[in-house]
Structure 1
Amino acid sequence: MHFDGGLKLSIAQHSSAGQKSVNEDSLGIRVPDDEQLTTKGAVAVIADGVSAAEAGKEAAETCVTGFLSDYFSTPDSWSVKRSAQQVLNALNRWLYGQGQHYLQAEKGYVSTLSIAIFKSQTAHIFHVGDSRIYRLRDGFLEQLTRDHAMPIGRGQSYLTRAMGLDINLDVDYRAADVAVGDVFLLSTDGIHDVLSSAQMQAIISDNELDHAAQCLLDEALAAGSDDNVSCQLLRVDALPLEDAGDVYRKLTALPFPSPLSVGMVLDGLVIESEIHASPRSQLYQVYDASADRHYVMKTPSQNFNDDPAYIERFILESWIGRRINSEYVIDVVEPPKAPSCLYYLSDYCSGLTLGQWMLKNPKPATQAMLEVILPAAKGLQAMHRRDTFHQDVKPDNILVGDDGGVKIIDFGSCYVAGLAEIAVPIERDKVLGTAQYSAPEHVLGRRPSAKADQFSLAVIVFEMLTGQQPYQGRLQNCTTTAAFSRLEYVSACHYNPHVPLWLDAALSRALSISPELRYNDVSEFVYDLEHPNPEYMKNEFQPLLTRNPVRTWQGISLFLFVCLLWSLMR
């Protein structure tokens, strides 16, 4: 990938039982030598098994080995925070469960845990217990974590938080910026409880890295430490911040394809027809004779052949598509030959876009609508599970196949949390979704979330059932918070009296201008579309005056007008 590599660390770590017969500390560092260094980062972990716990040593070892193994097994589209928290919660539940074999949980599998994950230009810190993480910068040693311990006198304390101590885990998290020359220190209390910050700072500053790590252990023992002593040192030697020219050269390693026409052959693929063309890209139906298989080829527009931000987004489309595994999302496939130019392939599925389907099926029955929307929602859920938000959910990006299958297509506007954490020295392309289907937070430039895709899906449902856009079609004209706040929801029942009130209530919630008022997940929204919510059913039995006072008074006025005309004609 164009942002691969660049991060370079020098590392050293030492551990000793010290005055004790058993070393209950555990530590480990993993620096991948492949793409994972970019997508997942480098990880340092240190753990201190609680001495009072009978399985403290086993708990510390499990924390270190389990985290270093499982973290790198999480999807590379996930953010660091989501990946780490998923692994930590699973480890904690296992430790707590093992600890139930003991009469008291705190006597079982209990350990402190401190983790530093270096990704791009950020150090992600996760911490529970009284081990510590420091950062030495410009001669100043700063403690980045706080101890979760309660003093009980005579230099003793007990842990208030630790791995395996409670079924519910509360981990401190912070993101710290990283600069070349920074040195990060991870230590157990056998060192930092007896050495001052000034002493540790001097040792690290005055010695080569490996020697400094050993000196920290020796000085702590010499100062009277009666505990296990362990530390890790990581110095940042280089960061993945290339200049824009370097990135541009990587992005343009493959040239843009020449204009294609029917009958041409590119890398063994025969161009059969042009499916769609826009100012940003072209779609072609192509045929691979060697595999007797049809594909859809997407090519970039020549309008952007010198635009690195556009090229990066185009390249990432195929990267994203290959990482979503769902029968409801179009498959991006490997080309039969190494590409000679910039394009990517996806499965070919014959059928209509949902936009075309809606023209042929205006105001469908609820069941017909659900047969399309439920699979589309499952496709979005598959993307959300990968920390990926589509951001351009609209009828033209949902394919209704001739076989009845439904698939989400087009990854051109996707937000991927794991990629957003990787800094590049170019201004990234921010492609907004289609205005009339976009959630307000997209337009207002707020943080992306799955609730924005839910909003867009609700717009589609509203349009399918009514033939109209919600908010009287005024969404696309709003560009400010004040403009959105002036919008008023008009019931779907106003346009289509066959829409049940409970279904309209579900639409109203999913179409809330404020994301906080929508459903927590798209699955909750579609469940309420399919199963009448008892809370919404109450409206079915309310008087018309309560349910729709405007329509009630309009009806009364019409009746009185007719009566007046009748009396005048007598």
Structure 2
Amino acid sequence: MPLEVTLGQHSLAGRKGLNQDFHGAVVPTGSALQLKGIAVALADGIGSSPVSHIASAAAVRGFLDDYYATSEAWSVRRAAQRVLGATNAWLHAQNQRGDARFDKDRGHCCTFSALVLKGRDIHVLHVGDTRVYRVHAQALEQLTEDHRVQLGAQQSYLGRALGAAPHVEIDHRCLEAEAGALYLLASDGAYERLDAASVHTALACWPHDFDAAARVLVQVARERGSTDDATVQLLRIDALPPQEAQPWQARRAQLRLPPPLAPRMVFEGWTLVRELHASARSQVFLALDPQTGGQLVVKVPAVDLREDAEALDRFLLEEWVARRVRSPHVLQAWAGERAREHLCVAMEYVEGQTLAQWMTDHPRPDLDSVRGLVAQLAKGLQALHGKEMLHQDLRPENVMVDRNGTVKIIDLASSHVAGLAEATPALRATRIVGSLQYTAPEYFVGGPPTAAADLFALAVLSYQMLSGQLPYGLQVTQLRAPADLQRLRYVPLRHHRPELPAWLDAVLHKALQPDPARRQEAVSEFVHDLHRPGAALLRPRALPLVQRNPVLFWQVCTVVLGLATVVLTGLRALGR
């Protein structure tokens, strides 16, 4: 069942004759409907400006055009704020070039409200004093807050609007959508004269023509004394997609499961050369494309997973993600285009070794070599994070080092994609999808997925490359409750490599904090600290005995407990 709505809208100019309101809506089809949703937008230019109608038209047109041009991986909030931020900057630039530089009341300024219905959520975006309501049986529930500053009982001014300042704060709310829910967007020329009863009366008269119902409501506002521009938009949710819907489910249903594969076999037009890897999740072959002579990697799901719908969806996710990230440090999808009959993914071939093998070959690498590898890994993660994606399974086996020393992050099937998680509630469940010993502690206690989790995994890899050990051993895998986080004990790197600088432990320990809020803010900051640590990290810090020398700590504890036992035994004997 696809997302379905009924939509209607109408606008009427006020007594000035020039309508400074502007409205619009987009109901896309295909993947855009699922990945970007339905958008409804309304803008109202400020009445004192002779050019505010230009601002409101630019705001609505720009939003409806550019929102659908943003990355499918982005969340609604990020995409909308980027688009509206660009519109605000353009409007403000027009003001700075003209008379509005000295009189903002005559500039390119407008208020703005929008609804984006995506998946099973409805997003409310707002700045100014246009309004969004949910229509109930007896009342209108206002979902936006008017950005007006009251100077007195009868006087107020607009405190926030598009174009009024170089930067603008956009209010965002995300609400659970419900089938049958009805929403109203309106400018002040309409909502000041309308109530729930008038909305339901109009809909009762025009149940199958929401444009006519909106026209009736605008006319009602005019009859009740409105002299301003009046705009009304009505949106009713008729059907919501199922919770488990994912963008590639239809494609998966059209693909056949692959047959048993073997070298020299022709599969999907490619000639299989040899098996590269086989695991519980997939079988990977090196293949040749006869048309170009180029090499590629063909991956098919493991036999045991062929009845697991969720596993197959994650399997297809890898190529979907790879086609949307452009970085020399993230594995790319095969560049060719070819219709496929079987369920498989095609990726670029990287000739080299895994980071796991590199660590075997370099058991005690120098710090500069590790910093070089970490910097490349960080660039790959930054490319993912820039698209609001998380890798979630960064480990030595999922990193390739090619013959030129270039590092590439591979195996993107465990990625978290913010835009997909919005559209698919089933993808939001906080569950561990990566290898336990590299998974951030917050995942074990129900924390949300954030970029800080990838930073934690990167720091674990850095520590392991330098020492051959894990910073917490297997402690992290035993976490069950938030209180358990306090019991994690970091083992200083210098226990394994005393020749390394003391500040390095401070950098790693910060990135490996159990609380994600105490880590570096981004992987770029972590890389910077590895090369140029700040004064706070260079300052000597007295570590607790349990971290400086765990063996001595427990020996002291044993001695103290032994003495306490002897003393208590003696006291009990004297008491007798």
Provide the TM-score with structure 2 as the length reference. 0.89
Give the root-mean-square deviation of aligned CA atoms.
2.8
Match of residue 452 from structure 1 = 453
Task: Give the letter for the 1:50 counterpart.
Answer: I
Q: Deviations 1:529-567 (Å, cap 9, x if unpaired)?
A: 12232332232xx8x99999957x98xx9xxxxxxxxxx
Match of residue 229 from structure 2 = 228
Match of residue 288 from structure 1 = 289
3-state secondary structure, aligned to 1:471: coil
Match of residue 199 from structure 1 = 198
Q: Deviations 1:428-473 (Å, cap 9, x if unpaired)?
A: 8955211111101222232101110000000000011111110244
Change (3 A) 1:514 1:520: same
Superposition deviation, residue 206 in structure 1:
3.5
Change (3 A) 1:272 1:190: same
Superposition deviation, residue 337 in structure 1:
3.4
Match of residue 10 from structure 1 = 6
Determine if contact 1:17/1:227 at 8 Å carries over to the other structure.
Answer: yes
1:332 equivalent to 2:333? Answer yes
In 2, Cα distance between equivalents of 1:335 and 1:506: 43
Q: Deviations 1:27-47 (Å, cap 9, x if unpaired)?
A: 111122232111111111101
3-state secondary structure, aligned to 1:453: helix
Match of residue 130 from structure 1 = 129
In 2, Cα distance between equivalents of 1:245 and 1:78: 15
Q: Deviations 1:475-519 (Å, cap 9, x if unpaired)?
A: 233333333321122211121022212222111110011000001
3-state secondary structure, aligned to 2:469: coil
1:52 equivalent to 2:62? Answer no
3-state secondary structure, aligned to 1:421: helix
Match of residue 371 from structure 1 = 372
Q: Deviations 1:184-233 (Å, cap 9, x if unpaired)?
A: 21110001112234333432344231211111111111111111111112
3-state secondary structure, aligned to 2:310: helix
Task: Give the letter for the 1:345 counterpart.
Answer: A
Determine if contact 1:115/1:125 at 8 Å carries over to the other structure.
Answer: yes
Q: How does 1:314-353 map to 2 (within 5 A)?
A: 314-333=315-334, 337-353=338-354
List runs of 5+ in structure 2 lacking aligned partners: 556-576
Determine if contact 1:436/1:476 at 8 Å carries over to the other structure.
Answer: yes
Higher mean C-alpha displacement, 435-444 vs 422-431: 422-431
Task: Give me the identity figure in percent.
Answer: 37
1:533 equivalent to 2:534? Answer yes
In 1, Cα distance between equivalents of 2:175 and 2:478: 40
Match of residue 497 from structure 2 = 496
Higher mean C-alpha displacement, 58-67 vs 241-250: 241-250
Change (3 A) 1:428 1:318: farther
1:38 equivalent to 2:34? Answer yes
1:82 equivalent to 2:78? Answer yes
Higher mean C-alpha displacement, 493-502 vs 196-205: 196-205
Match of residue 257 from structure 1 = 258
Determine if contact 1:387/1:416 at 8 Å carries over to the other structure.
Answer: yes
In 1, Cα distance between equivalents of 2:389 and 2:353: 25
Q: Deviations 1:68-127 (Å, cap 9, x if unpaired)?
A: 122112110001111111112222233233333421334422211001011112210011
Q: Deviations 1:271-316 (Å, cap 9, x if unpaired)?
A: 2121111111111111122211111111111212222111211122
Match of residue 356 from structure 1 = 357
In 2, Cα distance between equivalents of 1:88 and 1:484: 40
Determine if contact 2:492/2:505 at 8 Å carries over to the other structure.
Answer: yes
Higher mean C-alpha displacement, 178-187 vs 19-28: 178-187
Match of residue 110 from structure 1 = 109
Superposition deviation, residue 252 in structure 1:
3.2
Match of residue 481 from structure 1 = 482
Higher mean C-alpha displacement, 450-459 vs 84-93: 84-93
Determine if contact 2:333/2:346 at 8 Å carries over to the other structure.
Answer: yes
Determine if contact 1:244/1:426 at 8 Å carries over to the other structure.
Answer: no
Q: Deviations 1:384-432 (Å, cap 9, x if unpaired)?
A: 0000000001111110001211100001211000000113689989552
Q: Tell me how many residue pairs correspond in the alignment.
A: 548
Determine if contact 2:299/2:346 at 8 Å carries over to the other structure.
Answer: yes
Change (3 A) 1:452 1:180: same
Match of residue 560 from structure 2 = none
In 1, Cα distance between equivalents of 2:164 and 2:543: 57
Higher mean C-alpha displacement, 88-97 vs 24-33: 88-97
In 1, Cα distance between equivalents of 2:173 and 2:241: 21
Higher mean C-alpha displacement, 419-428 vs 145-154: 419-428
1:421 equivalent to 2:441? Answer no
Q: Deviations 1:366-400 (Å, cap 9, x if unpaired)?
A: 11112211111100000000000000011111100
Change (3 A) 1:250 1:349: closer
In 2, Cα distance between equivalents of 1:365 and 1:191: 70
In 2, Cα distance between equivalents of 1:14 and 1:260: 60
3-state secondary structure, aligned to 1:194: coil
Determine if contact 2:298/2:344 at 8 Å carries over to the other structure.
Answer: yes
Change (3 A) 1:58 1:526: same
3-state secondary structure, aligned to 2:197: helix
Match of residue 442 from structure 1 = 443
Provide the TM-score with structure 1 as the length reference. 0.90
Higher mean C-alpha displacement, 31-40 vs 236-245: 236-245
Change (3 A) 1:286 1:206: same
Determine if contact 2:22/2:56 at 8 Å carries over to the other structure.
Answer: yes
Match of residue 524 from structure 1 = 525
Task: Give the letter for the 2:73 counterpart.
Answer: S
3-state secondary structure, aligned to 2:44: strand
In 1, Cα distance between equivalents of 2:252 and 2:340: 14
Change (3 A) 1:154 1:196: farther
